[in-house]
A and B are shown apart, each in its own frame.
Chain A
Amino acid sequence: MNNAESNVPDEFPLNTMGPVLGRFSPPPPQFDPTGPWENAYGVYTLIGTSRVGTLRLERKVNAGGRVTLDVRYEKGLTEGRQEVVGSMQLAGDGPLSTPVAWTFQSQVFDAAGDPVPYTRLKKSAMAGSDAIEIRDPRQTRRLPVRGPYTLNWALFDAVGRLPREKTEPLNFTLIDHFDQLKPNQTLSFRKTTTVTVAGNPLRLHAYDQIGEGIVPWVYWVDNQGRLLLAVSGLEGYVWEQS
């Protein structure tokens, strides 16, 4: 056990992030979860603390109050990388940062940085009253969705504004990775706790997400409403300077 791991908080599942937490450095104090912001996260597989990618989120608030959330997700491969770039138009109200429309594209690049042929995809999605329609040039899919829903990356935005006390869990359908339907999700406040991460005392508010097709997620949000850490099984996200 190295020093970093010896300082891991005794808090499940924060304790599963192990040495990854040693790479954490606290962000500047100013942050408004309702305003425009940019957050970047190192993406780790928690076995061997291997950094496998980067997630960048940018929240934009336009003059008319319209909110968009841009996503840039780069995942390393043994040889090369895959990039997923997306943009969501958020509904503007509601606790889940629900997008009403979004676009995304993905592409694999080889070790030399060149695009791998035939691996580019571009899709758009639009929410209707009882379904979400996802289109690409070859296919239109209708995902049946009734009631609240959101996307996985949108939750990284939503948790910053959730109540910091026990309330009724939020029930919703998850659209994972922009187009995978995963129903029967709940998001609920877990606790507020103070832990020391990489020598930095942090007051964190934790939220649990459980549901079909996901290993439970726990999100840790700081007092300013910024998501700092997230973990699901062997998958970890650590806020980092962009």
Chain B
Amino acid sequence: MTTNNTPRNSRKPTRREFLQTGALGAGAVMTRSALAAPTTPKTKPPNFLLVLCDQLGLDALGGHGCPDVHTPNLDRLIRRGTTFLESHSTNPVCSPARSSLMTGRMPVETGVITNGRPIHPSCPTIGQWLGESGYETVYCGKWHLPGGVPQAGDGFTVLSSRKGQGDLDDAAVSRTCEAYLKNRPQDRPYLMVASFLQPHDICYWGNHAGDRMPAGLPFPQLRGRLPELPPNNKSRPPAPQKLDAIVCNVYSEQQWRYYLYIYARMVEMLDADVGRVLDAVEASGQSENTVILFTSDHGDGRGRHSHVAKWYPYEESVKVPMVVACPGRIAANQRDATHLVSGVDAMSTMCDYAGIEPPPHVHGRSLRPLLEGNNAAWREFVSSEHHVTGRMLRTEQYKYVRYEGDPVEQLFDMKSDPWEMNNLYREARCAGVLADHRKLLAEFQARLRPVPPTPGPIETRPRAVKKRAS
């Protein structure tokens, strides 16, 4: 077993040590006093199972109304807890979004502004934070911050790494998590991260298999059984240049529908593996003392706005599931369509249930008041980052998008235009709303504590699927 959750190891300093030695990155202003050890919980702390998946849009589940998939296990989880229907990725790309889930910070603050970068040493991970509070912290599956597995200092013991894509890898991840949950000694509370790849395979499938498809339906027996196209498949509202450059318009209607069929099957593969882990929690006898959080790093285009993949601030990309369940602690079968939540909230929620303070400067809010039916004053907006220079701000009614230096902005009325087909930014009647959202975004940006991007590949523009009509 690769043991990485020893706070002080010989390979590199932990984030806490990094901070205590004063090796702060630019913009990071934490102090030693701000990093006092997490408060020891007074009551028996619960276990945490954080189930991550990759490229799963919020509305791609049967339990969220998708008619094209059968997801009995995830639907079971939804029924057992609370699902947040206004849940947003902080940056719909794998590594940046994951850095927020692990730290409660925005990607510009973790240094992970594109894929393949490590989390800045100034940001403790949930593994490190709970590990230092007595939790056993284990990680299984996709990491990508960077590379295949958490490294020393990331705060996790690695159960199993990955090799291959989701179709080959996820079953190994779920089997490993199942075994661990059934076999581990139950002397300490645990945090397990079960990190699945599906339905991310669609990202490669489009370029690999999709590009080699025949003009007709590759499996004629599927005729009449393919999902319908979304109503905004052809919609291309005015958009900033970086956002507008990514479009897939080489698929025929039938190929788009086949793409959606394949995506749905990948979601079902994920469902089977999540089910295996959920069953193992029940078999472990720890079900009523285990808080389960299920979320994704980002969604997938699924033919909306002629998009595949992610990156952009449209709903299909930025909206992700956030389901939290724990029998006896969290009310069952609750659907929260009101509160705006974000990937940064995972850290604060777990810390709250563990009875410890979250690390300093996190942007997340604990979801616990919402989960337990308490009327909490809640945030007015959530924000996300895109393509390094783009920012999205979502309020109850509107979505505002701005890319630095680009004259085209976006403003959508999400109540009257949920498919984001009418960009209102030039509408005179919306000038006040636009100004308000610009101001909110500017104020939020001013509150962030950005650090220089951590070392990573040179990647300032998204790759793949650049299929413009000639």
> Which residues of A does B touch, CB under 8 Å?
12-13, 15-16, 43, 45-47, 50, 52-53, 75-80, 82, 84, 106, 108, 110, 116-121, 136-139, 141, 169, 176-177, 179-182, 186, 188, 208, 210, 212-216, 232-235
Contact = CB atoms under 8 A, between A and B. Distances in A.
A180 B167 CA distance: 14
B1 A117 contact: yes
Question: Which of A75, A78, A106, A233 has most chain B Cβ within 10 Å?
Answer: A233
B219 A119 contact: no
B42 interface: no
A179 B73 CA distance: 14
A234 B182 contact: no
| Cβ-closest 9 pairs across A and B | A78-B161, A78-B148, A139-B283, A118-B183, A213-B268, A45-B164, A52-B164, A121-B179, A180-B272
A105 B275 CA distance: 19
Contacts of B209: 13, 16, 46, 233-234
A169 B221 CA distance: 10
A75 B276 contact: no
Question: Which of B1, B149, B162, B266 has most chain A Cβ within 10 Å?
Answer: B1
Contacts of B148: 78-79
B191 to A, nearest CB: 15
A46 B210 CA distance: 13
A55 to B, nearest CB: 11
A45 B168 contact: yes
Interface residues of B, number: 54
Interface in B177-201: 178-180, 182-184, 201
Contacts of A210: 219, 221-222
Interface string B276-291: 1001101110000000
14 contacts: A12-B218, A13-B209, A52-B163, A53-B164, A75-B164, A76-B164, A80-B161, A108-B172, A116-B159, A121-B182, A139-B282, A169-B221, A181-B272, A208-B219
A159 to B, nearest CB: 16
Given A120-B183, A214-B265, A233-B201, A141 B212 contact: no
A121 to B, nearest CB: 4
A223 B393 CA distance: 61
Interface string B34-49: 0000000000000000
B379 interface: no
A118 B180 contact: yes
Contacts, number: 164
A15 B211 CA distance: 10
Contacts of B213: 12
B2 interface: yes
Nearest to B216: A12
Contacts of B180: 118-119
A197 to B, nearest CB: 16
B448 interface: no
Interface of B is mostly: helix
Nearest to B182: A138
Contact of B2 (A79, A141, A180, A208): A79
B205 A78 contact: no
B168 A108 contact: no
Interface string B215-255: 00011011000000000000000000000000000000000
A139 B287 CA distance: 13
Given A119-B180, A215-B266, A233-B167, A182 B272 contact: yes
B175 interface: yes
Contact of B208 (A47, A106, A136): A47
B269 interface: yes
Nearest to B262: A215
Contacts of A233: 167, 201, 205, 209, 262, 266
Contact of A53 (B1, B168, B184, B284): B168
B109 interface: no
Contacts of B182: 121, 136-139
A211 to B, nearest CB: 8
B212 A16 contact: yes
B318 to A, nearest CB: 25
Contacts of B271: 213
Given A176-B272, A234-B204, A78 B183 contact: no
Contact of B160 (A47, A52, A116, A138): A116
A212 B262 CA distance: 10
Contacts of B361: none
A195 to B, nearest CB: 15
B449 interface: no
B158 interface: yes
Contacts of A116: 1, 159-160, 176
Nearest to B171: A177
Contact of A215 (B184, B212, B265, B280): B265
